[in-house]
Amino acid sequence: MSPRGPELVHGEVLLRPLERRDGRAYREVRRHNRDWLRPWDATNPDAADVAPSFQELLRYYRRQERRGEALPMAVLVGGRFCGQVTAHGIQWGALRSAAIGYWIDRRMAGRGITPLAVALLTDHLLLDMGLHRVEINIRPENEASLRVVEKLGFRDEGLRERYMHIDGKWRDHRTFALVAEDIPEGLTALWLHTLQAQQAHDDAAHPGDDLDD
């Protein structure tokens, strides 16, 4: 267990706290995915055209971590850095909630890594930390992210107009959420069960496809 956060693992997918050592890989992945990620990146309305450096971003996250407001996690697959999933806006008291944001290297997309990473972090927030609610806010145009929450069964709570500053403008977002009572056995277990059921359905629909002629 890291003093700043957990290590969450399933198979070859590992989530661990974002570290200074991730800088080189982070910059390479972000550079390779610049055009793919830009439409969904949060921006500062006071400096919308200036993206923070990795060092600036890490300092910002460290301040939030010290206040107990965020958990920024690197996503590694087979030891390779390929994205980030972050719990932010962590609140206690009567609310006990957090929001999750995520991005992944386009070269690794479509392999079920993002849903698994979101499920692992959601379980940590709700089952280990004792929060009650997790939400994810997504631009209506972001079809890839919408597929993630659909796969995981997050409840659509409707549209928030001009909710967050993204790619240089205030953008509408749809809010999706789960509360602890929705997933008493954990979201990761539910997601893996869904995958197994889908595989069984596919095998039944196409028997013998994996056999030699």
Q: What is the pLDDT of residues 51-107, one digit of tens each?
A: 789 999 999 999 999 999 999 999 999 999 999 999 999 999 999 999 999 999 999
Distance CA 85, CA 18 (A): 10
- Residue 47 inside a domain? The answer is yes
- Residue 131 inside a domain? The answer is yes
Most confident of 2-11, 33-42, 71-80, 204-213: 71-80
Which strands, in side-by-side order, build the sheet including 155-166? 8-10, 13-17, 71-77, 80-91, 97-104, 133-138, 169-179, 155-166
Domain count of the fold of the chain: 1
- Residue 109 inside a domain? The answer is yes
- Residue 187 inside a domain? The answer is yes
Q: Please work out, in degrees rounded to the nearest 5, the angle formed at the alpha carbon of residue 44 by the alpha carbons of 63 and 30.
A: 80
Query: What is the structure's pLDDT at 160?
Result: 97
Query: What is the structure's pLDDT at 209?
Result: 57
- Residue 39 inside a domain? The answer is yes
- Residue 124 inside a domain? The answer is yes
Distance CA 9, CA 42 (A): 27
Mean pLDDT, the chain, as a whole number? Answer: 92
- Residue 206 inside a domain? The answer is no
Domain that holds residue 152: 8-194
What are the strands, taking DSSP E only, across 92-168? 97-104, 133-138, 155-166
Task: pLDDT band for 2, please (50, 70, 90 cuts).
Answer: very low
- Residue 182 inside a domain? The answer is yes
Task: CATH number of the domain at 125, please.
Answer: 3.40.630.30
Distance CA 73, CA 17 (A): 4
The residues pairing with 148 across neighbouring beta strands, listed in sequence order, are none
Per-residue pLDDT tens for 189-202? 999 998 888 878 67
